[in-house]
């Protein structure tokens, strides 16, 4: 198997987060995945000890390879499921922070397999909270999702809107948010575990899996274009998304983790605050690769897909000091370079 190439985009995590994570122990569930591996990398750069628990059901195990050399023994990988409570307790031992990324992804797959999604994403999240509580973890950061907003017509989508999940996947993510809030409120006494929910909007970047039938749109388009094929769009292509480079998601997690005030399950959007249609995205990617001839083909819309998605960022800015650190265009260019080097 080919090793992944080194990361394409350099963010100075120390300049952004200083000494906040030096010597701290953090558990990253789903840390062998796309976002989890970037989080683990930033935490290691910041001097943390990192434990990853991942059952490799959604990753090929190579995402952590670029991190191992520089980890200097501060990275431990537990290849197991968050459904195995013994393994989870072992992975959580001594952790002050938990970044809960492990989940089954993909809206269409969840429509086909709702029970599997409920088990891993909802019961699995309960397992993570219980392990964190038993271990006296200071705060759990939860990978929530913009899919919670469903087809809310008002744009931008802000955290005060009532959740409207349209798919089993979205329902599990809303359930996870409810568990985060309930655990922070119910067990807050005596230095109990605090929680925060980060609603990611279409995260993209290096190491996102392109080799799955359920690949996210930028990964799928990159794979098609690099193979000289036209990208396939579900729907008429006018649907829009707030595409967000993964370093923004990492930054938001680190800000939430180091916030001195209790967050009590508060929900924060994590995005760029910019709307791009899927047709525009396909054209831009084709042009960047010098293949404007690869015009997209259009397929029927998929169940559970939302029409428009763009985030309001005022709450994340006021509550966490969050603002995007990598813009859409810069992130897309470097991500495409990465996919090209991997191809």
Ligand X SMILES: NC(=O)c1ccc[n+]([C@@H]2O[C@H](COP(=O)([O-])OP(=O)(O)OC[C@H]3O[C@@H](n4cnc5c(N)ncnc54)[C@H](O)[C@@H]3O)[C@@H](O)[C@H]2O)c1
- Report which DSSP code applies to 176: H
Contact 40, 52 (CB under 8 A): yes
For residues 299 and 233, the answer to whether their CB atoms sit within 8 Å is yes
C-beta closer to ligand X: residue 80 or 259: 80
Binding residue for ligand X (CB under 6 A) from 21, 99, 117, 200? 200
Q: Which is nearer to ligand X, 101 or 206 (CB)?
A: 101
Strand, coil or helix: what is 63?
Answer: coil
What are phi and psi for residue 204, nearest 5 degrees? -140, 165
Q: Please work out, in degrees rounded to the nearest 5, the angle formed at the alpha carbon of residue 25 by the alpha carbons of 21 and 30.
A: 105
Query: Does the protein bind ligand X through residue 36 (CB under 6 A)?
Result: yes
Q: Which residue number has the CB closest to ligand X?
A: 33
Q: Which is nearer to ligand X, 193 or 202 (CB)?
A: 202
Q: Which of 59, 170, 171, 218 binds ligand X (CB under 6 A)?
A: 59
Does residue 339 carry a catalytic annotation? no
- Which one of the listed residues 169, 200, 322, 339 is annotated catalytic? 169
The one among 7, 8, 55, 194 contacting ligand X by CB under 6 A: 55
Give the ranges where 11-146 is alpha helix by DSSP (H).
Answer: 13-17, 34-45, 65-71, 85-92, 107-112, 114-117, 124-135
Which 131-190 positions form the footprint of ligand X (CB under 6 A)? Answer: 143, 145
Helix H or strand E segment including 27 = strand 25-29
Closest approach, Cβ 189 to ligand X, in A, equals 29
Query: Which residue lies nearer to ligand X by CB, 13 or 34?
Result: 34
The reply to whether 239 sits near ligand X by the rule CB under 6 A is no
Question: What is the C-alpha separation between 310 and 291, in angstroms, rounded?
Answer: 28
Least Å from the CB of residue 150 to ligand X? 14
Q: Which residues, 6+ apart, have CB-to-CB distance to 128 below 8 Å? A: 29, 82, 88, 98, 100, 102, 140
What is the footprint of ligand X within residues 77-106 (CB under 6 A)? 81-83, 101-105
> Can you give the binding site for ligand X, defined by CB under 6 A?
30, 32-36, 53-59, 81-83, 101-105, 120, 124, 143, 145, 200, 202-203, 209, 216
Residues involved in catalysis: 169
């Amino acid at each position: 198997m080919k090793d992944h190439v080194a990361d394409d985009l350099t963010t100075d995590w120390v300049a952004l987060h200083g000494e906040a994570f030096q010597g701290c122990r953090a558990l990253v569930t789903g840390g062998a995945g796309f976002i989890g591996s970037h989080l683990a990398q930033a935490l290691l750069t910041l001097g943390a000890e990192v434990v990853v628990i991942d059952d490799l059901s959604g990753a090929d195990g190579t995402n952590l390879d670029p991190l191992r050399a520089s980890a200097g023994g501060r990275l431990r990988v537990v290849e197991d499921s968050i459904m195995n409570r013994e393994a989870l307790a072992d992975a959580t031992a001594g952790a002050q922070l938990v970044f809960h990324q492990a989940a089954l992804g993909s809206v269409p797959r969840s429509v086909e397999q709702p029970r599997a999604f409920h088990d891993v994403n909802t019961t699995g999240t309960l397992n993570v909270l219980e392990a964190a509580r038993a271990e006296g973890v200071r705060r759990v950061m939860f990978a929530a999702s913009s899919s919670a907003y469903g087809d809310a017509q008002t744009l931008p989508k802000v955290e005060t809107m009532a959740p409207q999940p349209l798919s089993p996947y979205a329902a599990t993510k809303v359930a996870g948010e409810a568990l985060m809030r309930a655990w922070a409120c119910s067990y807050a006494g005596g230095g109990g575990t605090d929680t925060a929910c980060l609603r990611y909007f279409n995260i993209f970047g290096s190491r996102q899996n392109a080799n799955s039938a359920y690949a996210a749109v930028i990964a799928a388009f990159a794979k098609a274009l690099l193979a000289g094929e036209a990208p396939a769009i579900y729907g008429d292509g006018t649907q829009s998304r707030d595409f967000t480079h993964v370093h923004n998601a990492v930054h938001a997690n680190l800000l939430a983790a180091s916030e001195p005030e209790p967050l009590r399950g508060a929900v924060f959007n994590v995005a760029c605050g910019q709307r791009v249609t899927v047709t525009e995205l396909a054209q831009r990617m084709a042009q960047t690769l010098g293949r404007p001839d690869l015009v997209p083909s259009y397929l029927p819309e998929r169940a559970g897909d939302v029409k428009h998605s763009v985030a309001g960022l005022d709450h994340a800015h006021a509550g966490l000091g969050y603002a995007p650190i990598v813009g859409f265009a810069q992130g897309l260019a470097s991500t495409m370079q990465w996919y090209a080097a991997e191809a």
